[in-house]
Amino acid sequence: MKSRLLSFIKRAAAVALFAPALAMAAGAALHLDKAPVSTDPAALQHGAKVFVNYCLNCHGASFIRYNRLQDIGLSEQMIRDNLLFTGEKTGDLMKIAMQRDDAKVWFGKAPPDLTVVARARASEFGSGADWLYTYLRQFYRDPARPTGWNNAIFANVGMPHVLYELQGEQAAKITQNADGTTHTALELVKPGKLSVAEYDKTIADLVSFLVWMGEPVAEKRKSIGTIVLLFLAGLFVLSYALKKNYWKDIH
């Protein structure tokens, strides 16, 4: 009897944990906004600043070191002066002090590491960058939630809206569609420190940094790929000319 009870509790917990994902899978397709991802160093540096100040308190980026940010144009001194606040060294991994067990108690689930989140969130609905760009702009006030916040594309998410001071507060109007799905329309009811355009630009820079962090060598890989393709094209021309010259007297 005891083992059956434990088994039932485990199944119930699993259903509760994955309920938002199951509902999303059974519902209508996600409509994601196209993320204006940039490789401009200024945008990436701004994104890094936003990430360290607002995200790195709960979410780690434990597969990348602070000194790797030199690749986006920051000097080691700039990293030390602007991005290190609690005695870290520039060669340290971008970890957080919060323990996973404590995070589970506070949020219901430990916040995920964000090093490769832009790649992990890719789906048939759009790229991981599109998902992040939409998600971070879709928070709204919901008194029924423990944090006071909910999200239009990630229902009942455990994460509070840590950027609300910048964006302001949105209210949701949820309507029922004829096919049984719901539609959530958001309205800005309390402006934040930034205008809508400024907030969207800030989120775009943050997402650009998350994309870069998932593969810091992406641009170098693309440039090397272009050189390799040009080399192969030239080699093909030379090989074809050699073949024509070799076979010209053979009938």
User: What tokens were used for 249?
Assistant: 């007297």
- Residue 23 pLDDT greater than 80, yes or no: no
Q: Would you place residue 238 in the very low, low, confident or very high pLDDT band (cuts 50, 70, 90)?
A: very high
Higher model confidence: residue 20 or residue 130?
130
**Mean of all residue pLDDT scores within the chain:** 86
Q: What does the pLDDT look like over 160-176, one tens digit per residue?
A: 999 999 999 999 998 88
Cross-strand pairs, 191: 168
Question: 12-26, 187-201, 235-249: lowest mean pLDDT where?
Answer: 12-26
- Residue 21 pLDDT greater than 50, yes or no: no
Higher model confidence: residue 132 or residue 250?
132
User: What is the crossing angle of helices 41-50 and 196-214, to 10°?
Assistant: 100
Q: 3-class SS at 72? A: helix
pLDDT value for 251: 59
Do the beta carbons of residue 47 and residue 205 sit within 8 Å?
yes
pTM: 0.79
- Residue 61 pLDDT greater than 90, yes or no: yes
Q: What does the pLDDT look like over 81-112, one tens digit per residue?
A: 999 988 889 999 999 888 888 888 887 788 99
For the chain, report the end-to-end CA distance as a whole number of angstroms. 88
pLDDT value for 67: 95
